[in-house]
């Protein structure tokens, strides 16, 4: 093969510099079957750097070996590629495989040839996606140096565009999914997780909430002006729920918080990290502390993400306030109805807590279990249409009176099914079916087996268990053991056998007394 002409090369611009250590380097693959070309090229580039980053040289000596290396190193910045290696098309085959099969559009390809007749410049540039074409017979160190600088600038710009494109895609994706969380802590943790996509590494992060006044419903109750870690990642996870004033290693954040009033910058650097101010319109001031060197982060993307984050947090708080209010109203209504014909309304709260635990053990998601917890409080709402003389009768009911009682599932369904709220639609389903029995002997319709909604089959077990273990106006309470025996005895008759087994096997985790 014809080698490069280095006879009169000037190396004066490659004077010795003080030894430096760089955070990263650009990968450059030298693909040539001439070992002398490898030696001279590496010697020429040994002090080369671009924007503070050196080169990592990888050597290959055939087209086949080059294909393997490029497959294993998709982050290669430059491929210095000989055209003729084991055959006259080795280099061109590598170009075709890299661009078409590997879909690598980022690596800059500098084609070097000592036999231009095998690969004419005009046809190669027209037919193949290469970035430069150099003849070895005319190649000097200055031309090589200039070609590498041009290629690296192009690679850097392409990578920045690609990273920004991915970052924008991630922001769009994240913004669409910000509300697909069922708890405030889960929502905040998801924000920390998503922000990690804008870093080279995934540092430890803390989300801090400085509360101006107490909030209710979807955040934990806090003391006045106490800063609590409500979500965290990495080494700070053990501190979730803690006041930072009690954490010695976070003294620097305490000092910053004391002086934070009047600060206008959204991002401020402190010690080994930086703090991002939430800037929301609600009654909570929010801070995100991220550990690490600020040079590792793309703050343009972070600032763009924070605009969506702040809006999402405000909306999340508003939505949860509305949702919380709805929940409290439903609970209150359930308790009012229950207290009307019982000595107290604690049954509703107990039943709802047990329903949540039972649901999570039966494959329901956290959000689904929360809905069932709320919906279960309304299972007896239909009793509002039953005369007090029957509801509050201390003794045994007559057949006629019991037939009146048996109307309450349908009354409850008619009341609840008129609402468009999902939780009340599920409440209507439970209300209608919670007195159906697995063997078909229940009421109001005598449904059997799996035709009874699972939510109602679950509630039937819990409702009977709670009724048996607590005193009512017409009966005394029995022990937990006796109640469990009764439920097991009616396994497959009144109750779904599979659900009974789950209930009994997880009794201590479910029951609320």
Q: Which residues are catalytic?
A: 383
DSSP label at residue 4: P
Among the listed residues 419, 345, 409, 343, the one whose alpha carbon sits nearest the alpha carbon of residue 377: 345
Closest by alpha carbon to 404, among 420, 419, 387, 417? 387
Judged on CB neighbours under 10 Å (0-12, 13-18, 19+), 56 is middle
Decide: 421 and 326 in contact? Cβ < 8 Å. Answer: yes
Distance CA 469, CA 191 (A): 44
Name, in order, each residue with C-beta under 8 angstroms of 297's C-beta and a sequence gap of 6 or more.
Answer: 198, 199, 290
CA nearest neighbour of 379 among 350, 401, 343: 350
Give the Cβ contact number of residue 45 at 10 Å: 20
Question: Based on C-alpha coordinates, what's the Rg of the chain?
Answer: 36
- Residue 271, sorted as left (phi over 0), alpha (psi -120 to 50) or beta, turns out to be left
Which has the closest alpha carbon to 131: 109, 153, 158? 109
What angle in degrees, to the nearest 10, is found between the helix axes of 422-433 and 454-468? 60
Q: Is the dihedral of CA 218, 220, 221, 223 positive or negative?
A: negative
| β-pair type (205-211, 284-291) | antiparallel
Residue 56 makes CB contacts below 8 A (sequence gap 6+) with 25, 26, 27, 28
The three-state secondary structure class of 293 is: coil
Q: What are the angstrom distances between the C-alpha of 27 and each of 50, 73, 140?
A: 12, 8, 21
- Residue among 462, 313, 310, 489 nearest 376 (CA): 462
Q: Give the neighbor-by-neighbor strand order of the sheet with 25-31.
A: 54-60, 25-31, 78-82, 108-113, 132-135
Helix (H, G, I), strand (E, B) or coil at 513: coil
Give dist(CA 165, CA 309) in Å, integer: 19
C-beta separation of 410 from 444 below 8 A: yes
Paired strand residues for 28? 57, 78
- Please check whether residue 341 is in contact with residue 394, taking contact to mean a CB–CB distance below 8 angstroms: no
Q: How far is CA 122 from the centre of its chain?
A: 51
């Amino acid at each position: 093969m014809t080698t490069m002409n280095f006879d009169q090369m000037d190396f004066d611009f490659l004077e010795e510099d003080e030894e430096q250590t760089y955070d990263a380097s650009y990968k450059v693959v030298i693909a040539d079957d001439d070992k002398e070309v490898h030696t001279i090229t590496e010697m020429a580039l040994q002090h080369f750097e671009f924007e503070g980053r050196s080169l990592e040289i990888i050597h290959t000596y055939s087209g086949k070996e080059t294909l393997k290396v490029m497959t294993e190193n998709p982050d290669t910045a430059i491929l210095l590629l000989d055209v003729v290696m084991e055959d006259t098309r080795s280099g061109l085959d590598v170009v075709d495989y890299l661009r078409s099969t590997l879909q690598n559009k980022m690596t800059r390809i500098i084609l070097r040839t000592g036999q231009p007749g095998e690969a004419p410049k005009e046809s190669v540039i027209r037919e193949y996606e290469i970035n430069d074409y150099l003849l070895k017979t005319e190649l000097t160190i200055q031309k090589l140096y200039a070609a590498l600088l041009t290629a690296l600038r192009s690679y850097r710009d392409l990578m920045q565009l690609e990273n920004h494109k991915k970052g924008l895609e991630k922001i769009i994706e994240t913004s669409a999914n910000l509300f697909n969380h069922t708890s405030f802590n889960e929502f905040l943790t998801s924000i920390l997780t998503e922000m990690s996509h804008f870093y080279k590494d995934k540092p430890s992060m803390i989300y801090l909430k400085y509360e101006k006044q107490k909030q209710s419903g979807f955040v934990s109750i806090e003391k006045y002006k106490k800063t609590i870690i409500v979500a965290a990642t990495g080494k700070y996870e053990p501190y979730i729920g803690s006041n930072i004033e009690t954490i010695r290693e976070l003294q620097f954040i305490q000092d910053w918080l004391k002086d934070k009033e009047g600060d206008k910058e959204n991002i401020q650097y402190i010690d080994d990290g930086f703090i991002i101010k939430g800037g929301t319109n609600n009654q909570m001031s929010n801070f995100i502390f991220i550990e690490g060197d600020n040079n590792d982060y793309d703050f343009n993307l972070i600032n763009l993400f924070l605009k969506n984050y702040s809006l999402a947090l405000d909306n999340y708080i508003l939505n949860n306030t509305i949702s919380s209010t709805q929940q409290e109203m439903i609970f209150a209504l359930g308790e009012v109805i229950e207290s009307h014909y019982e000595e107290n309304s604690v049954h509703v709260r107990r039943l709802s807590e047990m329903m949540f635990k039972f649901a999570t053990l039966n494959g329901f998601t956290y959000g689904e279990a929360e809905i069932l917890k709320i919906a279960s409080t309304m299972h007896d709402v239909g009793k509002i249409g039953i005369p007090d003389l029957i509801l509050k009768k201390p003794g045994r009911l007559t057949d006629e009176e019991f037939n009146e009682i048996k109307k309450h599932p349908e009354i409850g369904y008619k009341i609840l099914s008129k609402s468009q709220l999902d939780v009340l639609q599920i409440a209507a389903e439970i209300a209608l079916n919670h007195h159906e029995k697995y063997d078909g002997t229940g009421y109001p319709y005598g449904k059997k087996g799996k035709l009874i909604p699972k939510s109602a089959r679950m509630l039937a077990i819990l409702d009977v268990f709670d009724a048996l273990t607590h005193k009512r106006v017409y009966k005394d309470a029995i022990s937990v053991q006796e109640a469990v025996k009764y439920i097991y005895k009616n396994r497959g008759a009144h109750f779904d056998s599979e659900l009974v087994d789950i209930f009994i096997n997880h009794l201590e985790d479910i029951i609320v007394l």
